[in-house]
Amino acid sequence: MARRGREMGKGRLRKETQSAFSQLPFQNLKIPYQPYNIISDDQIEAIHDASMDVLEQIGINFLLDEARDILKQAGADVREGETRVRFERGMVEELVAKAPSEFTMHARNPAHNIQFGANNINFALVASPPNASDMIGGRRAGNMTDFLDFIKLGQSLNITHMIGGYPVEPADLPANTRHLTAEREVIKLSDKVSFGYSLGRDRIHDSMEMIRIGRGVSWDQMKNEPSIMTTVNANSPLQYDIPMLIGMIEMATHGQPVSVTPFTLAGAMAPVTLAGALAQQNAEALAGIAFIQAVNPGSPVWYGGFTSNVDMKTGAPAFGTPEYAKAVLIGGQLTRRYGVPYRSSNVNASNAPDVQSAYESQMSIWPCMLGHANLVKHALGWLEGGLCASFEKVIIDAEMLQMMAEVMKPVEINDAEFGLSAIEEVGPGGHYFGCAHTMERYETAFYSPMLSDWQNFENWQEAGSLDATTRAHNIYKQLLADFVPPALDPAVAEELDHFVERRIAEGGQDPNSYGERK
Amino acid sequence: MARRGREMGKGRLRKETQSAFSQLPFQNLKIPYQPYNIISDDQIEAIHDASMDVLEQIGINFLLDEARDILKQAGADVREGETRVRFERGMVEELVAKAPSEFTMHARNPAHNIQFGANNINFALVASPPNASDMIGGRRAGNMTDFLDFIKLGQSLNITHMIGGYPVEPADLPANTRHLTAEREVIKLSDKVSFGYSLGRDRIHDSMEMIRIGRGVSWDQMKNEPSIMTTVNANSPLQYDIPMLIGMIEMATHGQPVSVTPFTLAGAMAPVTLAGALAQQNAEALAGIAFIQAVNPGSPVWYGGFTSNVDMKTGAPAFGTPEYAKAVLIGGQLTRRYGVPYRSSNVNASNAPDVQSAYESQMSIWPCMLGHANLVKHALGWLEGGLCASFEKVIIDAEMLQMMAEVMKPVEINDAEFGLSAIEEVGPGGHYFGCAHTMERYETAFYSPMLSDWQNFENWQEAGSLDATTRAHNIYKQLLADFVPPALDPAVAEELDHFVERRIAEGGQDPNSYGERK
């Protein structure tokens, strides 16, 4: 260090080999800046009113009998022989107000607990694509090998706060027992907050049970400590289907948080205007949240925004568009009106981990920060509008998210930081490489990238002219090679194995049935 | 259209061939949202105070005798035999207050006039790299052929508001007459606002004269209609050299705007802290602006911010970093305190037009919009921290800037946009492809990209699996093939040719001399 210091003092910085891999520590990130509002409070009220008109006059289909019974009990307008449920606006607001504005999710490793609501922001690994790809192996159908590798990356990369679903569908596992086999491995390979899918009563219940065993807590404790998340998408427009409603009931009954996320693609499943799509998003999200509060008042939820648009030339869905950016920002304004945590996503529609994937993602990441999204799903690895999980994109996203984490680090403004004596010491025409003010701070002064290459052109060329996607490939391979699973109490592992083996022996759950109420 | 409409009504959108190239019209862009402030007013005052301490106690070197005479006359502390000039803070604030808060720049084509100050934002083509590159031809030293091609792209792409300098140095032209030969071609190939370099009295005067001839106006009119821009960089730390000061004097005397831009790389030419680098930036920028106002009160300027950081491992400059993003935002807050237009840049340090170049650029473009930068230099084509102009990056940037332009298009919130009757008509589980609300709007509802490809994977693969950088290459080639020069009055062209030929015959200007005061 002293030698280095002297060299810096001479103003000739030695070119050092870049360290193989450096990353920020795991952090509970908070956005220190005000939310960025792009429409007025009056305009937010207008969207609210339009969505209340939808709920009062048009209504939402709730396809599960039990769900309609719950809503009728709560005072909704449920008519005999109709699946359509209409909601009086006062009732909706009253129910939504019961949802907590903040909650903590508990991980298997308490150091990885995470907070939602207020100005907290958390990044979840890509969830649910049917395909996986890397630039050497190409694109292939989802499988367990890739699934495990993605989980390892999610665990290794500190910027990943949680596993938000199957990072890719392990389609080579039998459907009846897939959730058991796959989620057991998630619990073993990762000690971060995890997920379950709302695809029938047995499955979501199995998922809760595995997480409970992994954490080594009782059902009573678990009920007070949200530990597993699920996402429920409305079947936009204006419909909640049976598996989703069962999932909401099961999760809410056990105090586990649900991301209620209408998928309102403007021009396809929602009006072709942002105003219309957001009014519909708001109606669907609030109906879902109100339903959950009717099941179990105070059960945690996220208001999920997923309004994007289609390419009107082809009908293809588009993501990370300017319209998406604005929908994310307005979605944040809406959630703040209701005082519920906000869930958004890091999206793009590119078919390759190329510049399009990067700039469309940035059109998501900046609005998520600016709009105070508390949960950013698909934050690492999403490609092709969600049809593919990309290994290189995981690394590209990790770098972009780390950069955003550093943007959120408040600038220190004080006399020691100004360093006027250093400015005086260096004087006109000098340089700051060797002065004391620099030497005291240089090691931690700036963000140190994991993927970006700042070598000059000649050195970069000499090192093989590797573009950032190629470097991302090499980094993910190295991370997998270096992976060490997190500690797990052998007794817990054994209990988990026993449960999974028993449930597999019982046949898991028929994906075409919904299972029995627990 | 009717046939298309019926097809949409059936919900099966016909896959259409994507049109070769579409772009937004030329627009005077305004940022409709509030500036995004990341530090408090008190913290801004603290930076202001620190910079005033620098100006009062440490001072700035002004290396030109004439400049020190002007400053002495204006009341600065100029001591016999010293190049260091110290400024009393009241004097600085008084002079800076004389700078206009808004001004218009006049283009050869009045339809391309542009506004600075307030919430206007304008994008300028890359300026000054010594190298050019494209992915097929590779990287080469700056030359006139590439120079001309970049100018053509700047003219063709409507999102380019101005040409901000040599897009690449035409180093194959003789140095003495380079500015004459090169800038004549700029005026012929582009009718947008243009530039001159502050590299000696004769050269900047020649540049002004060529622009004046191109516009067909008198010197009197030109003096009241800013028509040519130049950038002046402090030789940070704390120094203005002779050619820059001559440029400032010549431009200010003729009422032409100067971007006063300290290049404060934290850890190298400025303190290793953002607070220190920004205090130094502020001192240097205000000293330069005050000097210009001493030369000619009311002459237009931009407050230029260019604070980034070096890689402390290697000393390499880094751009588009989280620190850069914060410096851009705080720079905006500072300029609003002084009421002067703000100039920033779209930067990155990548060696290739790859994902790094895209995400680092986004770390510039978002802060430029959020911080209300009025002039974004290097907005299209910058690579390698300014050492290379990339043809593909021009197209990538054009797409990213167009997307930002669309983000800045306010969302319409009203009953017609909500389309509640459409929501009712479509109902639960339906789709919006064919309803009247969609059909009336679908052609212009959403941003239509120039570079992004939203085809599904199979179609994209069938079309050759072209990544976005490769598509950008094809687009720029096509734009060059399609280029048509803008109209130019033959009499004006003739006058321009006469002037240039006369000045070439006179020998242009020796780059090692500063020329005589006009």
Reduce the DSSP state of residue B494 to 3 states and report it.
helix
Q: A403, A413, A431: best mutation site toward chain B, by most B Cβ within 10 Å?
A: A413
Q: B83, B432, B441: best mutation site toward chain A, by most A Cβ within 10 Å?
A: B432
Closest by alpha carbon to B260, among B338, B208, B189, B207?
Answer: B338
Nearest to A271 among B399, B400, B437 (CB): B437
Q: Please list, in sequence order, all residues whose beta carbon lies within 8 angstroms of the beta carbon of residue B82, skipping any fewer than 6 positions away.
A: none
Is the pLDDT higher at A18 or at A484?
A: A484
Q: What's the pLDDT score for residue A20?
A: 60
Paired residues of B308 in beta bridges: B265
Q: Which range (A10-19, A64-73, A97-106) has the least confidence?
A: A10-19
Residue B177 has φ and ψ, to the nearest 5°, of -120, 5
The C-alpha atoms of residue B243 and residue B234 are separated, in whole angstroms, by 11
Contacts of A360 in chain B (CB under 8 A): 452
Give the mean pLDDT of B179-195: 98
Q: Is the pLDDT of residue A2 over 80?
A: no
Q: Which residue has the tokens 């105003």?
A: A275
Banded pLDDT at B516 (limits 50, 70, 90): low
Banded pLDDT at B3 (limits 50, 70, 90): very low
Contacts of A316 in chain B (CB under 8 A): 454-456
Amino acid at A389: A
Q: Is the pLDDT of residue B6 over 60?
A: no
CB contact under 8 A, B350 and A453: yes
The C-alpha atoms of residue B301 and residue A51 are separated, in whole angstroms, by 48
Closest by alpha carbon to B508, among B108, B184, B128, B130?
Answer: B184
Q: Which helix (H) or strand (E) holds B310?
A: strand B308-310
* Pairing of β B375-380 and β B342-345: parallel
Q: Is the pLDDT of residue B8 over 90?
A: no
Give the mean pLDDT of B40-66: 98
Percent of chain A surpassing pLDDT 90: 92
Alpha carbon B338 to chain centroid, angstroms: 21
Contacts of A447 in chain B (CB under 8 A): 321-323
* Pairing of β A342-345 and β B382-383: unpaired
CA distance B301 to chain A (A): 23
Q: A159, A313, A384, A461: best mutation site toward chain B, by most B Cβ within 10 Å?
A: A313
Closest by alpha carbon to A357, among A304, A400, A315?
Answer: A400
Banded pLDDT at A314 (limits 50, 70, 90): confident
The pLDDT tens digits of the residues spanning A201-237 come to: 999 999 999 999 999 999 999 999 999 999 999 999 9
Say if pTM beats, i.e. exceeds, 0.80: yes
Give the mean pLDDT of A133-160: 98
Q: A37, A354, A355: best mutation site toward chain B, by most B Cβ within 10 Å?
A: A355
Return the number of CB contacts < 8 Å for A and B: 417
Closest by alpha carbon to B478, among B161, B153, B163, B186?
Answer: B153
Q: Is the pLDDT of residue B5 over 80?
A: no
The C-alpha atoms of residue A381 and residue A160 are separated, in whole angstroms, by 11
The C-alpha atoms of residue B376 and residue B379 are separated, in whole angstroms, by 6
Q: Is the pLDDT of residue A90 over 60?
A: yes
Contacts of A413 in chain B (CB under 8 A): 39, 43, 46-47, 275
Nearest to B354 among A53, A355, A407 (CB): A355
Q: Among positive and negative, which fits the CA dihedral A176, A128, A518, A114?
A: positive
Give the mean pLDDT of A81-103: 98
Is the pLDDT higher at A13 or at B167?
A: B167
* Residue burial A391-408, b: 16+ Cβ < 10 Å; e: rest: bbbbbbbbbbbbbbbbbb
CB contact under 8 A, B355 and A355: yes
Is the pLDDT higher at B41 or at B6?
A: B41
Contacts of A321 in chain B (CB under 8 A): 403, 406, 446-447
Q: What's the pLDDT score for residue B11?
A: 35
Q: Among positive and negative, which fits the CA dihedral B368, B369, B373, B379?
A: positive
Give the mean pLDDT of A109-138: 98
The C-alpha atoms of residue A379 and residue A401 are separated, in whole angstroms, by 8
Banded pLDDT at A509 (limits 50, 70, 90): confident
What integer best gives the mean pLDDT of chain B?
94
The pLDDT tens digits of the residues spanning B9-23 come to: 333 333 333 446 789
Give the mean pLDDT of B433-442: 94
Q: Are B332 and B304 in contact (CB under 8 A)?
A: no
Q: Are A393 and A351 in contact (CB under 8 A)?
A: no
The C-alpha atoms of residue A393 and residue A364 are separated, in whole angstroms, by 14
The pLDDT tens digits of the residues spanning B286-325 come to: 999 999 999 999 999 999 999 999 998 888 999 999 999 9
CA distance A108 to chain B (A): 32
Contacts of A357 in chain B (CB under 8 A): 355
CA distances from A266 to A204, A270, B418, B442 (A): 31, 5, 11, 10
Nearest to B431 among A269, A388, A407 (CB): A269
